[in-house]
Chain A
Amino acid sequence: MSTGFDAQNPPFDRLAQQEVEELRAATDIGYFRPGETIVARGRPSDFLHVVIKGAVEARDAEALQGVLGPRDSFDSRALVHGAAGEDFVAAEETLCFLIPRATVLALIARNAAFAAFFYADVSRKLEAFSEARKAEGGMESVLRARVRDAMHGRAVFIDGAVTIEQAGQAMRDGNTNAAFVRDGERTGVVTGMNLAKAVVLQRLPLDTPVREVTHFDIVAVDEDDFLFEALLSMTRHGKRRLAVRSGGVFAGFLEDIDLLGRFAGNSQLIPGRIDRARDVEELAVAAREIQDQVERLHRQGMKVEVIAEITSDLNRRLFVRLFELVAPPSIREQGCLILMGSEGRGEQTVRTDQDNGLLLAGLVPEADLATFREAFSGALDGFGFPPCPGNVMVRNPLWSQPAEGMVRQLRAWVMERTPDAAMNIAIFLDGVALTGRTALLAETKAALFEMMRGEAVLLGRFAHLIESFATPSIGVLGTLMASVGVTDDAIDIKKAGIFPIVHGVRTMALEKGITETSTAERMAALVRAGSFDGEFGRDIISAHRVFMGYRLASQLDAVRRGSVEGESLLRPSRMTAVDRDILRDSLRVVRQFRDVIATRFRTAAF
């Protein structure tokens, strides 16, 4: 028996057959005439509605937030949390399945995967669903695997005072090529290669105490950490072997070879390639690998923040190495290489524009500077980094100049009060110092914070950039028109979602003199400072993550198509009901946030 209830439609596809039958048996069908309010905002609901035919508008006061169509369901908040987030009004003659609240609650209590759909928190919902999706692709094990599942060997401990000969024997007996060395309070690691180099290359006597050749800068992970965290750590530190702790004591090692079989790609090997590159050509090979790596990790279902972190780490290494290779001594002596914009925030995923600059502590020969500017930006062009459309590049003298000049420039921008000037300030504010005289950037930023302190009008101007783009609702006419092929319902995820969040948080950070650059860290600092309550902060960051995730997917798609056109466009009509639901929640969070920023900085006054 079926009354047309589609059990393949998420989230019902997470129910067992018997649970589906139970649900079907309890379900009625309701008819709603156009204009009829099905669930009122702030009210509980006795049913979970699943649209059979027709269209239902989700309205927030007067604003239309979205249009739900067949297979969409509403409203989990009214059902589980007792108060609908929006008014749900039939837009056409509409039929809905009516699943009684008690039935849904019973299934939620029994079935965790089904329950995930009803989480109030966007990010938990997203995670639960993306995990379930990955599970179908068979990649779940990689994400869930922990260090203890992949580590090998028992730990061999050697006293720091024993000779390297004894150490070598102990390692051979333990059948391992790495051992922990205890030396008083410290613990270090020595490898077979360290011993061999000591004897063969440095010609140290065999009775040299092993502590002399031991590394005491251990990079360690816990055996309960996820494997991808270990991968991240290897990538960041350029290590191919990590020490593993168990209950606070060292228990063994995790080597890159233990990960190779599990993770596609080789991000832990790329740092070595970057560091070993002897010229720009060799570096270009490593640069290509970074790009490939992103795609592999994404396919494997890696979380978007982790991908962003790995990419960011690798790119930074790449820039540092390039700087070392092409900067003349005068610039290496005086300069501070900075990354700005999304690179600075560590939020780029697929290779984005070159957003970089150079601050100088003093004057350097003009010829050196000219050579460096061209060599650095030119090499990045060659690596496939698209030039920055706003020309925020070392190549542009505006962005590679003495720190004093930059402070003057910033002051001029502050006074200029144009959107372009505000954007330049924003880009600079996201800057991080990569190498060289890193204190220069901190000093320059401190000067900027000083300029803005207490300047409500200036901050308002700066905040006003958030009004550059509207945050649309899903649907309105769009989804309907798109569904009949009349128009495109594409949403520019960068303009509608990412920019308002990034810029709003950035404005708050500027006001409070917060030096962190990533949006998540800035938000954490703002929550600590009491500017936002924790829950709101989490919602904002979750929404940001949702957008980043969608953006990454569409960017990868654009890379595959070989065209950057439309790389941040999202088409709700082509998404699944659950994805649309998550997107709708996230866009609502952005609109709330925009209101907060608008009120706080009175952006409407401009």
Chain B
Amino acid sequence: MIDAVKRLFWRASLADHGYLFLFDPPPAGEVVSLDCETTGLDTTTDEILAIAAVPVVDGRIQTSRRFEAFVKPDRAPTADSIKVHRLRARDLEAARPMRDVLPELLRFIGSRPLLGYYIDFDVRMLDRYAKELLQVHLPNRRIEVSSLYYDRKYGKAPPGTTIDLRFASMLEDLGIPQLEQHIAVNDAVMAAMAWLQLTDLVERGQRLKRERRRDATAAPLGA
């Protein structure tokens, strides 16, 4: 409800009417798996270094039609962030400023729902740029893969069950081969694979088994 009101407000306050398409009814059976690589986890100060968006249409992950871009940050990336996503300054030579990349990305995504692991983070990052550059918010519906996973795995779990929602654990549980992580396209593709499988489990009313044998060690939460 609140979301709907927000959407209305955003739509009304849209400065550039060229972006009205974001509010079109989304095409049926299509979502876009989105992932950003960033300099850190603070959505107010950190910067986006790479973006990948992979359409998923009727059960097909269209890697052949993916959107992929490297973004030129305002500040040079720190050593810590380089360790995570291995994009070095010189890898970013092909990168373009966000003001060029963002309009392309938005046109690519259109009004399709956005899919991802911890997708709120990615959207918040993009929103910051979108607001600053285009005075728009991304109104797209978001699909959180980890919530779907939680539902299939822990939905009826007794209290005290150790909950492990780490990306790698989820992929392993679903039997999805792990591509090299922290490459935007790979993360987007893996999230899409997980989503397709989880959606199918939902449709067939199947749940994932919880392992009882495993010791209840505290598994860290989060990304």
- Interface size class of chain A, counting residues whose CB lies under 8 Å from the partner chain: 20 to 34
Interface assignment of A93: CB less than 8 Å from any CB of chain B = yes
Interface assignment of B185: CB less than 8 Å from any CB of chain A = yes
Interface assignment of A439: CB less than 8 Å from any CB of chain B = no
CB-defined contacts of A3 to chain B, threshold 8 Å: 63, 179, 185-186, 189
**Given known A-B contacts A27-B63, A31-B196, A53 and B189 have beta carbons under 8 A apart:** no
Q: How many A-B residue pairs have CB under 8 A?
A: 63
- List the one stretch of B54-62, B120-128, B157-165, B213-221 in contact with chain A: B54-62
Interface assignment of B46: CB less than 8 Å from any CB of chain A = no
How far, in Å, is B17 (CB) from chain A's closest CB?
34
B177 contacts A33, CB within 8 Å? Answer: no
**Given known A-B contacts A3-B185, A4-B186, A53 and B63 have beta carbons under 8 A apart:** no
Instruction: Tell me, in angstroms, the Cα distance from A28 to B61 when the chains sit together.
Output: 6
CB-defined contacts of B185 to chain A, threshold 8 Å: 1, 3
Interface assignment of A95: CB less than 8 Å from any CB of chain B = yes
B173-210, CB < 8 A from A? 174-177, 179-180, 183, 185-186, 189, 192-193, 196-197, 200-201, 203-204
Interface assignment of B68: CB less than 8 Å from any CB of chain A = yes
Contact of A31 among B62, B63, B177, B200 (CB under 8 A): B200
**Given known A-B contacts A27-B64, A53-B176, A93-B175, A33 and B186 have beta carbons under 8 A apart:** no
B197 contacts A93, CB within 8 Å? Answer: yes
B197 contacts A98, CB within 8 Å? Answer: no
A31 contacts B193, CB within 8 Å? Answer: yes
A29 contacts B189, CB within 8 Å? Answer: yes
Instruction: Tell me, in angstroms, the Cα distance from A70 to B64 when the chains sit together.
Output: 21
**Given known A-B contacts A28-B60, A98-B60, A70 and B177 have beta carbons under 8 A apart:** yes
Instruction: Tell me, in angstroms, the Cα distance from A33 to B59 when the chains sit together.
Output: 10
Interface assignment of A54: CB less than 8 Å from any CB of chain B = yes
How far, in Å, is A593 (CB) from chain B's closest CB?
38
Instruction: Tell me, in angstroms, the Cα distance from A31 to B63 when the chains sit together.
Output: 13
Instruction: Tell me, in angstroms, the Cα distance from A31 to B185 when the chains sit together.
Output: 18
A1 contacts B68, CB within 8 Å? Answer: yes
B177 contacts A53, CB within 8 Å? Answer: yes
**Given known A-B contacts A3-B185, A3-B186, A28 and B64 have beta carbons under 8 A apart:** yes
B59 contacts A4, CB within 8 Å? Answer: no
Which residue of chain B has its CB nearest to the CB of A26? B64
Instruction: Tell me, in angstroms, the Cα distance from A207 to B189 when the chains sit together.
Output: 91
How far, in Å, is A31 (CB) from chain B's closest CB?
4
A2 contacts B177, CB within 8 Å? Answer: no
Interface assignment of A386: CB less than 8 Å from any CB of chain B = no
Which residue of chain A has its CB nearest to the CB of B200? A33
A30 contacts B60, CB within 8 Å? Answer: yes
CB-defined contacts of B63 to chain A, threshold 8 Å: 3, 27-29
Interface assignment of A162: CB less than 8 Å from any CB of chain B = no
Interface assignment of A25: CB less than 8 Å from any CB of chain B = yes
Which residue of chain A has its CB nearest to the CB of B178? A4
How far, in Å, is A483 (CB) from chain B's closest CB?
13
CB-defined contacts of B201 to chain A, threshold 8 Å: 93
Interface assignment of A231: CB less than 8 Å from any CB of chain B = no
**Given known A-B contacts A31-B59, A52-B177, A95 and B64 have beta carbons under 8 A apart:** no
CB-defined contacts of B177 to chain A, threshold 8 Å: 4, 52-53, 70
A-B contacts, 7 of them at CB < 8 A, read A25-B64, A27-B63, A31-B61, A31-B200, A52-B177, A70-B177, A93-B201
Extra 6 A-B pairs, beta carbons < 8 Å, given A3-B186, A29-B61: A3-B185, A29-B193, A33-B203, A52-B193, A53-B176, A93-B175
> Closest 7 interchain pairs by CB?
A31-B196, A29-B61, A4-B179, A33-B200, A93-B197, A3-B63, A31-B59
Interface residues of A (CB under 8 A from B): 1-4, 25-33, 52-54, 70, 93, 95, 98, 100
